[in-house]
Structure formats: C-alpha cells, structure tokens
Structure 1
Amino acid sequence: MLDRRRFMQSLLAVASLASLPAATANAAAGGTGTDAATAPPAPTGTQVPGFFRLPVGEVTVFALFDAHGKLDPAILHGADRKDIDALLEDAGIPAGQPHTSNVNCFLLDAGARRVLMDTGAGAFFGARGGHLPGNLRAAGHPPERIGHVLLSHLHPDHALGLVDAAGARVFPNAGVHVSAPELDYWTSDATFAAAPEGRRAGLLALRKALAPYKDSGRLHTFAPGAAPLPDVPQVTSVDLPGHTPGHCGFRVASGGAALLFWADIIHSTPVQFARPEVSIDFDVDQKAAVGTRLRLLPQVAAEGCWVAGSHLPFPGLGRVRARNGGKGGYAWLPVHYADGL
C-alpha cells in the first residue's frame, strides 16, 4: 500500500506528464516520440509579420515594416569623426562600418477611417523593400481598405510604394495628401534639371508613382501645419522643414493621448539623439534640418508624447528623454511589447 508521501508524488508525476507537449510526453512515457502528427513544425526561414499595434487614446496606430538598408557613417556631419565613431561603437557598431536603417510606415485605425502615413519604397529597393502591403494584410488592414495616404515628404523610400512594379495603384480607394511646397519642389522641371544624373531615376519614378492618383483626381495638397483631413479630426500636420522643403510630420491626438509621426527627424539612432547637431547628406538643407531637430526634441521630451520615426529601429515607436536638460543630448526610450496589449 502506498503511503501518503508516495501517493502525492505519483499524482504530481502524472500531472506534470499531462502538461508536457505531446511528443515530449510520449517519450517520457516510454514511446518513440516520432509520430508525424506530433513532430515539430519545419523552420520557415522567414521572420514574423512586421507590424506592431499601439493604442493611442481611443484610436490605434500600427507600425508597419517596409524595408531595410545600410547607413554609411561617412554621410553624417557636424561632429568630430572620433565622437561619431565612439557613439556607434557604444551601440556595437565597428567604427566606420555601415549600420542597419529601417523604413517604417504607420497606420491610424480610427474606426470608420484608416489613414496610412507614408508608403515605403515599393519595388524601388528590390528585395530589401516593398513589404508594406503584406504587413498591412497581416495586420488586418489590406491596402484596398485604406481611405487616406499622408506623405511626410517625397523621397523614394516614403512615396514610391504608392504603386506596384507594374505602375498600378496599390491603394485604389485612397486619396493621397502631401504638403504643397513638397509637391511643387520635387515635381518641378527646375529640380529635375539641377539633380545629379544618379538621382534622376528616382525623380522619374516619383512622377510615375504620383501620376495614377493625379489622373484619377486623388492627389491633394495641404498647407504646412494645416489639418490635412477634414473627416479625420484626430490628425494634424506639423511643419518640420529642412530634410526637404515641405517635410512634415503628423500628430495623432485622441482621448488625452498623443503620438507624433516625425518621419525623418532622426536617421542614425546611436548618433543623432546624443548629438542632435549632426546632419546627414540626405537633408536638402542640412542647417535647417538641424534647427528643426534642436527645436523639436525638447518639445516632445517635455510633453512625453509617443513618437513614431521612419528610420528608428522597428517598430520605431517610443518616447524621448532629455539628458541633463538637453545639454547631454537625448535618449530614445523604445516602446515595450506590453504597451501594445
């Protein structure tokens, strides 16, 4: 007869066996564990879908991964090269070596309205880009359901995802909205004539991406700082010049919470938060871009609002903290997974 101690041990053993995965439990019970129905799934070789949801008051913002590339530190300016190298090395990046840069887009789900902020690179980056449509579908918001597309600016990695490789509209039911100075600058003959030969392909691709929306009466402009969407009052535009002449951000406010999509305020996370005076060759007006960044960082740090960035590590969502009142630069505080639950 079992004594009480052995009886309890037997019950615990049975309970633990029942909680094991089927293949493990079979092996523990003396089986072979080779039943095809209980075999582990084969590796897929792919990453999980690139989307992340974040509640902002009474609405939801989705971060959506589109593309990746490499950023050469040689195109960063405004600080001693040794200081830049030291900041990169602190982030685990060998001095002088390129570091990964993402292209993130963001979707506002306001219930009756779905607003996409930027469209990614489309087919322009080859296999490195064009992941936005698939990630939209994975997030439950296929491109056909997008009502508005807001473009922060018209660089290829933000606007060429408007069309697919065949030149067809990816967002057939959406109106496309861009600031008037931005559209005027990038579509002007003067800008094309002044562009280096290597950049003209991107300008031609931009014209082709905008054309089907323009031809269908779906391309619209707004004044910098204006509310671009009368039917989506939660969204206002924020004038952030320098990176491009009409570069802007979009602020989402709902239920006492706020998020600022600041687009290309920061390209190099390890360097430009710590040294916001550092500019990058992608800036059309580097001096103005630095001035905008120096003005914006203390504002978002003081407010404590959510920030969404195009080139921050995915999902590109977080908050900004001032170090020593901003005299020591700023720290990026990435969103936690649980914040999206």
Structure 2
Amino acid sequence: MEIHPAHRVRQGLTVRRWSPANELDEKHRLADCIIRPRQAQHAQLAWIEFTGRVADTGYSLQTVDIYRTERRMHRIASGEFHWTYTLGDLRITALRDGYVDMPVGRLRQNGDKPFGDDLPPQVALIGGQLRLSVNAFAIDDGNEITLIDTGASNAWHPTMGRLPEALDEAGIDVEKVHTVCFTHTHLDHIHGLVLADGRDAFPRLARLLVPRQELGLFRAVARLKRFHGMARPFEAGDSIGTHVDIIGAHGHEVGHSCFRVSSGGERILIWGDTVHVPSLQFDRPEVTWEFDGDQDQARESRLRLLALAADDLCFVAGAHLDSPGIGRVVRSGGAFRFEPL
C-alpha cells in the first residue's frame, strides 16, 4: 500500500501505513513519540496533527470534534492592545496598531461592482463605514522576536500607530526584535519601522525581509529611506528559521505573502490582507477589495488559503480580522466560517 503524501512524517521521523486494524495502536505509538510527556488523552489529537489532514485519515466526525475542542493553542495573556497565545513551543502575540474606517464602496462584487443597497445585513457599519482592525504579529521562540508587519506609525490615519504601546503592554522588548517581515508593502504594514518621533522602532534589527516582487515598491518609500539598503527579498517556498515558511498569496499586492508558523504539531497562517471584512468574506470569499492589485488573483489566493486553513486545521492570523485577529476557519456549506480564538 502506498503512503498518502499527507501521511508523510515531518522532521525525518517514520510512520507506518494506516489501516483500521492498527489505527489505535498507531495513534498511541505516535503520540508517545511526538508529545512525550503529554498526557495520554492527547493521543488522538497528536495523530491528527501528525498526519496533517483529517480528511485523508479516515477519521470519524467525533474524532474531528475531539481535535477541534482539545487543540492546545490557547490565550495566556491579554490587554487593551495585545493578546498572547501558545503555539507549540512558541508564543504568538497579536498586536493592535489601531483601526481604519473605509467606505463601503471598497468592497467589490464580481465584475468590480461595488455594493449599494444590496450590502448583506451581517456587515456592521460604524458611522456608515467599514471599520478594519490593523494588527501585527510577533513570534517569540524564547531567544528572539520575529515581527510580521509593523502597522502604520503616523504615516496614515491618527487611529493607527499604537504598535509601540502594544509591544510595551505585551512585555516585548524591542531590543529583541531582530527580524521584521512584511506580508506586503502597503503603508499600514511597513511604516512602523519608524516611530512617530523619527527614531528607529527596533534598534537591534538585523534582518528586514520584503517580498521579492515588492522590493522596488519598498525602496520607493522616502520615509523609510534608511532601511532601503537593509531590505532583503524572500519568495514563496523560502523558510525563515526553523518554524516559518512562506506561502505565496499574490493578488492584493504583487508579492503578497502568507507566513506559515509551525511548532509542536500546531500551525498558524499569518496571512496579511487575505481577508479585509471578516463579517462578509468568509461567507462570500468571492467578494474582493478595491485596492486589490489583481482582484481575480486575490480571490483565488483567498479561496486557496481558506481551504488550507480549514482542511489542514491551521489557525489563522489576519491583519484586518477583528482584533486580536486570531482564530480558526471551518467549512460551512459551500463557504467558510471564522471562529475567533
């Protein structure tokens, strides 16, 4: 019997072929290998994590439900501007830079058609506008911090620029932020490199990673001129250290990218601007955004990442999901549903 690709074992370990006859013994054997000294009740959870895709394992819905209720990623701290979670051996912190209000016309139906009176009722408006959270995310491996996106600083609306407060509230020492990665180079993601008073936000920054297709865009930003020479390109398929690999998610911008973070059999997709309006675009993922550079490509990337998150049981973290912007995606009929964590 050929081993399904989804059953390949990460980190060079070996897995036996699955069959109903040896399923229970195999679950416990793998749980012992992977999660020692976790308690035995996590054996089924470890099996599903280990194979990567529930749909390919022959498991019952009951087992899937066990997985969904017993996953270990959980919140361990929070405040007004930050929320910290465990992910395996890592700490993932959602950092609220603020929010921005945008006109309803930014949402686009097929054919680049804006909504009018046909705006679905589940989309809540504030003062007649869409309110988008603006989030960044920190990955702490115990030695140093990698920051995904940096917010807007004082480069756009005054409702943003709270990242320094969020970092301080979370107890994150900016001296330990050695790597900054951008999902893309729009202004609400990159300008947090420079504080409102003009100082460097991260004095010991050693690596600044930008999508290869957007290096020119980044180097055209005058406010960030002193960082132009430091910027280095990445592309889909690259890895950043031990725990992070890059998934292409182009469309919103020419190099828009998703960072898949993995530890202890758990995964989270830090996916930038894949979703702008969560009250609508999970249920109707075909809806695009006026500022998508290529709306068709952005739609395809969103559908692909939603399916990946739902089918591979990855958590997600979004720059414009309602703060803290972390949760999971489940299939719902022919669409998807977001469940905040």
Return the TM-score normalized by structure 2: 0.72
Query: Over residues 96-140 of structure 1, what are the superposed CA-to-partner deviations in whole Å (9 max), with x where a residue is unaligned?
Result: 921211100000010112100000001113531111011111111
Paired position in structure 2 for 1:29: none
The CA RMSD over aligned residues, in Å, is: 2.1
Paired position in structure 1 for 2:90: 59
Paired position in structure 1 for 2:322: 313
Contact 2:94-2:324 within 8 A present in 1 as well: yes
Paired position in structure 1 for 2:231: 219
What code does the residue aligned with 1:208 have? R
- State yes or no: 1:163 paired with 2:194: yes
- Counterparts of 1:1-341 in structure 2 under 5 Å? 48-78=79-109, 81=115, 85-86=119-120, 89-93=121-125, 97-174=128-205, 175-187=207-219, 206-209=221-224, 211-215=225-229, 218-227=230-239, 229=240, 232-324=241-333, 327=334, 329-335=335-341
Contact 1:114-1:145 within 8 A present in 2 as well: yes
- SS of 1:127 mapped into structure 2: coil
Contact 2:124-2:130 within 8 A present in 1 as well: no
Q: Give the whole-Å Cα distance in 1 for the aligned partners of 2:290 and 2:198.
A: 29
Structure 1 or 2, whichever has the larger Rg, is 1
Contact 1:169-1:212 within 8 A present in 2 as well: no
Percent of pairs identical after alignment? 33
Return closer, same or farther for 1:299/1:136 CA change in 2, 3 Å cut-off: same
Paired position in structure 2 for 1:31: none
What code does the residue aligned with 2:212 have? A
What code does the residue aligned with 1:155 have? H
- SS of 2:137 mapped into structure 1: strand
- SS of 2:158 mapped into structure 1: helix
Query: Over residues 62-117 of structure 1, what are the superposed CA-to-partner deviations in whole Å (9 max), with x where a residue is unaligned?
Result: 0000021112221211258368512xx234448x9212111000000101121000
Contact 2:247-2:259 within 8 A present in 1 as well: yes
Provide runs of 4+ in structure 1 moved above 3 Å: 79-84, 91-94
Q: Give the whole-Å Cα distance in 1 for the aligned partners of 2:236 and 2:198.
A: 29
Unmatched segments (≥5 aa) in structure 2: 1-77
Return closer, same or farther for 1:253/1:237 CA change in 2, 3 Å cut-off: same
Q: Give the whole-Å Cα distance in 1 for the aligned partners of 2:82 and 2:287.
A: 30
Tell me how far 1:179 sits from its aligned partner.
Answer: 1.5
Q: Give the whole-Å Cα distance in 1 for the aligned partners of 2:175 and 2:202.
A: 6
- SS of 1:252 mapped into structure 2: strand
What code does the residue aligned with 2:210 have? V
Tell me how far 1:185 sits from its aligned partner.
Answer: 4.3
Q: Give the whole-Å Cα distance in 1 for the aligned partners of 2:89 and 2:285.
A: 33
Return closer, same or farther for 1:212/1:82 CA change in 2, 3 Å cut-off: closer
Unmatched segments (≥5 aa) in structure 1: 1-46, 188-202, 336-341
- SS of 1:125 mapped into structure 2: coil
Paired position in structure 2 for 1:43: none
Contact 1:52-1:64 within 8 A present in 2 as well: yes
Contact 1:133-1:142 within 8 A present in 2 as well: no
Contact 2:156-2:187 within 8 A present in 1 as well: no
Q: Give the whole-Å Cα distance in 2 for the aligned partners of 1:73 and 1:92.
A: 10
